[in-house]
Amino acid sequence: MEKNHPEGVGLAASCMAACPVHTPTQAYVQAIAEGRYEDAMDLLLSANPFSSVCGRICHHPCEQNCRRIAVDKPISLRGLKRFVMDQTKDFRKTRKRQVAPANGKKAAIIGAGPSGLTAAQDLALKGYQVTVFEASDSPGGMLGKAIPRYRLPFDVVMEDIKDILALGIELKTNTAIGKDLSFADLRQQGFNAILLAIGLAQSKSIGIPGIDSKGILLGIPFLRMAAEGVPVKLGEKVVVIGGGNVAIDVARTARRLGAKKVTMVSLESRKEMPAWEWEIQEAVDEGIELMPSWGPKAIQAGKGGVRGIELKKCTRVFDENKRFNPAFDESVTTQVACDIILIAIGQGSDFSFLQGSGVKLTPRGLLEWDGETFATSAPGIFASGETVTGPGSAVEAVASGHRAAEAMDHWLQTGTFKKVPKEELPNIGELPKEVAEKARKLERVEVGLTDAGKRVQDFEEFERTYTEAEALREARRCVACATGAVVTEELCAACLTCVRMCPFGVATVDRTASTPAEKCLTCGLCAAECPAAAIALSRFGTEKVKQELLRLAGVKKDKDKPIIVSFNCIYEAQSRRYLKPGEEVLGKDGILRIMVPCVARLKVTELLMPFELGAEGVAVIACEEGECVYPTAEDRLEVRVRRAKQLLDEIGIGGGRMDLFKTKGSAEESWEELWEESRNKIKSAGTGAGAEVSR
Amino acid sequence: MIVAERKPFAEIKEFLAPYKKVMILGCGTCVTVCQAGGQAEVDILTSELKIADRQAGKSREFITGTVTRQCEPEMVDPILEQVKRDQPEAILTLACGVGCNFLAERVGKVPVFPGVNTSFYGTALEHGVFAEMCAGCGQCILHLTGGICPIARCTKSLMNGPCGGSNKGKCEISTEVDCGWALIVKRMEELGTLDKLTEIYAARDWSKSFHGGPRKLLIPSVKIAAELAAQAEEAKKPGVKS
């Protein structure tokens, strides 16, 4: 039995558990750290076809739940995701996907936003013939029409959409169902099922005096005009009503369109404002003024249009039952002069197109809909995304699309409804304080933003992507939760080595060893030192080393270029130059590189193994002196190398054939030099090792 | 715990020189704990042998494994089966001397070689540091000496130490070695029982230690119960009259 095996106890890393689509987060971050950007992309897209988009605008619940928060700051997961998607654009276009053979059934998706297109993708992959109907002239939904370009360039939206459509999905733009085509038409065209994924494209307004004045615009149409480059005259002073993320987008867009003074008025107090804190901060940096805890009372307008707005003090937004139920102190009022008022207080859907579809609405005007089967009241018509879930993020829309597709597939195949509830993964939870305080702090690599004064001048993307070196440095910070030590109980002798080795005080022995996944920081020192070979590290092991070393078979010896196996710490690489195995087994230099996520994990047997297979020398290249992320690991490695050298002396081939080096600066800066040093040492030791053995 | 130390590689290499198919066997109990003969050491030794073989231009087959306790019939029996099946020409065991004996007696014609020097009964003072604490003399007198053994921890196994070679708490043989009797005196002083050392005791019966020849222990309750069970089993067989 394997004790505390993360998979055995079914624990998911907290980042993955928090993601609405359960992106295999730590797996893709490890893939980045190992230079496998294409694998990282596959992992990302396996969960989320809108990964390029989410790399820009996701509200990243993964980061909010990153266990590194207990140590210092979360991993910049969104930044890393964007890096991967930016790095693999070409590969993405050429990769092959496994599509099930056509099953002869047709599905219609209404609405080409993230939810509809995700469902379209999933159904296409399952062999359905899918057509997406979009009322406007371009796909993307809110991603293309509302989210400002400075946050999400349109070509990024199209990167994801083109990739989805490349599965053979037909997109019909400028086709409004209920107007250009009726539901009956769809049935007649042979669509066996229909998904309503029209989103919340209608801005809500407020009933206050003066609301019909000239100079009042609703948020979504305003954002759409800005996104499509339609000129909007704003004047000098703009008031934005609303405190959510759309209101922030509206305010920042107004700033970029030339408004000198932009004031955001929200019912909510500063703390209650529903917009993401970082977006509020970015808006403030851009000179946007916040007026929290104020509600609109009346609009003052003259012949020329809006002149200002009267506000009343909002004393409470939510009642005791946490329901939206604002209360005001009418006696406290204030006035704000302005030329334009933009209203961003929420969105809704226009369901008038459903007439004749058989889809019923609730008395409150919402869709009658089952949140688990995704079915509406009309047979064969399903619904997903914000239309039914209410306002949410892009990744939540994607999650809804996945689930809807699964429900539709089941219905199409069996004629019965399947409940597809939200899947909650067993979360590994927070990193306990007593472990976190022993972990080494590593500075988060922040992505630079364009200076606020400069960025408000245009709609250029204001956040840059990581450089490769930055991404690799940031990926190194990931603890790879839930991939740590796994104890095979039958082998354990309860010798206490793990307890004594563990730099984080995690391992315990209670009859047999225990390394709880919830606490393990995955350094692997216990596995490297276990005298019973009872502990393995799920993220790295002997088998991997063996596989790499088997490449030595058949390599010809050359006295000028002794065969040297170099175990290198991957965390010192600033590029893929050394991370990706070359075409040739050995470089021109006779070096077989084995990249290890921390060489302090290497066991004595792993250090010796190259000599079994004909290597003439071994170089172990650790990180820079004092730079290892794991406390005590450098000393432990040194002791193990020393023992391996002694064994080589005993065997008679000489401990001088193995050396432990420390990286100087970076891999790129120092490894060639270290290999040269190693080569010279081995040459002077003679080509003794394994000399007369033919391979 | 039995503490052992791996034998030098040259010695092991020589033992195994004539054989082309070798089994290397670890033990998962004491020698694993003292890092001399667990699976990790089996792997390391096998690797050493393979490297040496390659060096010498030869290659041979190794069969490796670890038995939970190499001193128990039920645990060793599967190895005997494996030996019959795989037919190694020799076995190198990293178990203590007990395990080596036990296996050698049972395994038939295959030679069994020791891969460790079995050293003593000891304790881990800290990780990687072991010290002798007991000599297995068969007649424990720890109750008389404050829980510290004069047989194992006095170089001369004196019953009436310390001797004249005790110097500032160390034994005359080495400044690294504590004087066992100095420890006893200190401990008994601590306990306020030092005066007990003035009492006269009967002479020790050394025949109960190794001096009386190889020892055997029979636990009557266990042994008799087993015999009764065997008899009952026998009686059930058809044709056997009770």
Which residue of chain A is at minimal alpha-carbon distance from B30?
A493
Which residues in chain A have Cβ-Cβ distances shorter than 8 Å to B66?
491, 532
- Taking an 8 Å cut-off on Cβ atoms, the answer to whether A493 and B124 are in contact is no
Q: Taking CB atoms and an 8 Å limit, are A605 and B44 in contact across chains? A: yes
CA gyration radius, chain A: 30
CB atoms near residue A379 (< 10 Å): 10
pLDDT of residue A432: 95
The minimum CA-CA distance between A4 and chain B, rounded to whole Å, is 21
Closest residue by Cα to residue A570 from A621, A524, A626: A621
Q: What is residue A556's predicted lDDT score, i.e. its pLDDT?
A: 79
Q: How far is the CA of A57 from the CAs of A14, A81, A84, A249, A256, in angstroms?
A: 20, 11, 15, 12, 19
> Is the pLDDT score of B236 beyond 90?
no
Q: What is the largest CA-CA distance in chain A?
A: 100
Task: Select from A357, A272, A354, A260 the least CA-distant residue to A318.
Answer: A272
pLDDT of residue A694: 34
- Using CA atoms, how far apart are residues A85 and A54, in angstroms rounded to an integer? 10
- Rounded (5°) CA angle A532-A533-A538: 145
Q: Which residues of chain A have pLDDT under 50?
A: 1-8, 690-695
What pLDDT was estimated at residue A316? 94
Task: Determine whether the interchain pair A532/B68 forms a contact, defined as Cβ–Cβ distance below 8 Å.
Answer: no
Coil, helix or strand for B144? helix
Q: Is B60 on the interface with A (CB under 8 A)?
A: no
Q: Which residue of B has its CA nearest to A534?
A: B39
Strand order in the sheet with A658-662: A591-596, A564-569, A617-622, A658-662
Catalogue all structural domains in chain B, each as residue range(s) with its CATH number. 2-120 (3.40.50.2300), 135-212 (no CATH)
Q: In terms of CA atoms, which chain B residue is nearest residue A648? A: B48
Q: Is A530 close to B124, i.e. CB distance below 8 A? A: no
Task: Report the pLDDT averaged over residues B58-83.
Answer: 96
pLDDT of residue A582: 59
Q: How far apart are CA A608 and CA A614, in angstroms?
A: 11
Q: Which amino acid is at A592?
A: L
Q: How far apart are the first and last CA of chain A?
A: 39
The model carries a pTM of 0.90
Question: Cβ separation of A532 and B32 shorter than 8 Å?
Answer: yes
Paired sense of beta strands A535-537 and A485-488, if any: antiparallel
Interface A-B: count of C-beta contacts within 8 A = 87
Residue with tokens 């030590």: A485
* CA-based max dimension of chain B: 75
Whole-angstrom Cα distance, residue A299 to residue A289?
A: 19
Helix (H, G, I), strand (E, B), or coil: what is residue A476? helix
Band the pLDDT of B241: cuts 50, 70, 90: low
Cα separations (Å) of A534 from A435, A445, A513, A572? Answer: 23, 37, 9, 30
Q: What is the pLDDT, as a whole number, of residue A693? A: 37
> In terms of Cα–Cα distance, which of A599, A555, A565 is closest to A675?
A565
HSE-up (13 A, CA, CB side) for residue A6 = 24
Tell me phi and psi for residue A493, to 5 degrees: -100, 10
Per-residue pLDDT for B240 more than 70?
no
Would you place residue B237 in the very low, low, confident or very high pLDDT band (cuts 50, 70, 90)?
A: confident
Mean pLDDT computed over B164-187: 97
Distance CA A557, CA A390 (A): 68
* A493: nearest CB among B33, B50, B51: B33
The vertex-A84 CA angle with A80 and A39, nearest 5°, equals: 115
Contact A496 B124 (CB under 8 A): yes
Q: List the 82-141 stretch of B: residues with Cβ below 8 A of A.
A: 124, 127
Averaged pLDDT score across all residues of chain B: 94
Determine the residue among A489, A490, A497 to mutate to test chain B binding: the one whose Cβ has the most chain B Cβ atoms within 10 Å.
Answer: A497
